[in-house]
Amino acid sequence: MPNIDWRIEAQDFTTCNCDFSCPCQFNARPTHGHCRAAVGFHIEKGYWDTTPLDGVTFVGLFAWPGAIHEGRGEAHLIVDAATTEAQRRAVIALFRGEETEPGATIFNVFSNTIDTYYEPIVRPIEVEADIDERTGRISVPGIVQGTGEPIRNPVTGAPHRARVTLPHGFEYHEAEYASSTVTTQEALIPLEWTQGHAHLARVAWTPQGVIHG
């Protein structure tokens, strides 16, 4: 059982190399047989024990050689340079799924599928997420750049809107779906795609998992 009380309310901008909608959301196998992802979180309100997390931003890079549940994954955490040492320790614990009931949050689920956690690094980070407009941005200069935009109608080019609700999901309750472009420069986990999946959501998590509704 978790020994530390914590809670975050955050903007979540998640991208992956799969086709729009991401088969993981529907318990299907990844589009290309493997999974690669870049995620950005901006915590609007939160705490980890006695450490306030308001305004903390972090980015995660991930790769699995097959489907996520088959394991052998890699993960690399990048924490914003504006954070304090105590906040960095809290984010590392959160990112590794610690102090969380088994299977209750996406990072706890991931922790059972990742063999390699690279040493976290601290860099200036920008994460933006406009959920209604389905636009987002992840920027860690020299390491990773990612953008999100609405999925486009292939005939008219008009923006398409798709929203998914997961009443028992371990990442979000509801998310807007979008298209992503991601590229890395000097990253331990190289990523490269265009017109991949993206979703944007406001999430609320505690040690017991996602707050639904």
Looking at residue 109, the DSSP 8-state letter turns out to be H
Count of domains for the chain:
1
What's the CA gap between 57 and 42, in Å, rounded? Answer: 4
Q: So what's the pLDDT on residue 187?
A: 97
What's the CA gap between 135 and 133, in Å, rounded? Answer: 5
Q: Confirm whether 104 is domain-assigned.
A: yes
Task: Say whether pTM exceeds 0.95.
Answer: yes
The identity of residue 23, as a single letter, is P
Q: Confirm whether 1 is domain-assigned.
A: no
CB-based burial label for 35 (10 Å; 0-12, 13-18, 19+)? buried
- Kindly indicate the confidence band of residue 1, based on its pLDDT and cuts at 50, 70 and 90: confident
Q: Confirm whether 49 is domain-assigned.
A: yes
Instruction: Quickly tell me which residue has 């980070």 as its tokens.
Output: 125
Q: pLDDT tens-digit profile of 147-191?
A: 999 999 999 999 999 999 999 999 999 999 999 999 999 999 999
Instruction: Quickly tell me which residue has 């005939």 as its tokens.
Output: 155
Parallel, antiparallel, or unpaired: how do β-strands 114-117 and 73-80 relate? parallel
Domain around 108: 6-210
What sections of the chain are H helices per DSSP? 85-95, 106-111
Q: Confirm whether 39 is domain-assigned.
A: yes
What's the CA gap between 29 and 139, in Å, rounded? Answer: 28
Instruction: Quickly tell me which residue has 């997961």 as its tokens.
Output: 166
Listed residue (142, 190, 139) closest to 13, CA to CA: 139
Q: How many residues would you count in the chain? A: 213
Q: Confirm whether 74 is domain-assigned.
A: yes
CB-based burial label for 167 (10 Å; 0-12, 13-18, 19+)? exposed
Q: CB–CB of 9/43 below 8 Å? A: yes
The chain-wide mean pLDDT, for the chain, equals 97
For range 34-54, the mean pLDDT: 98
Q: Confirm whether 192 is domain-assigned.
A: yes
Q: Confirm whether 10 is domain-assigned.
A: yes
Q: So what's the pLDDT on residue 213?
A: 75
Instruction: Please spell the DSSP secondary structure of 35-81, one letter per residue.
Output: EEEEEEEEEEEEEETTEE-TT-EEEEEEEESS-GGG--EEEEEEEET
Q: Confirm whether 185 is domain-assigned.
A: yes
For range 137-144, the mean pLDDT: 98
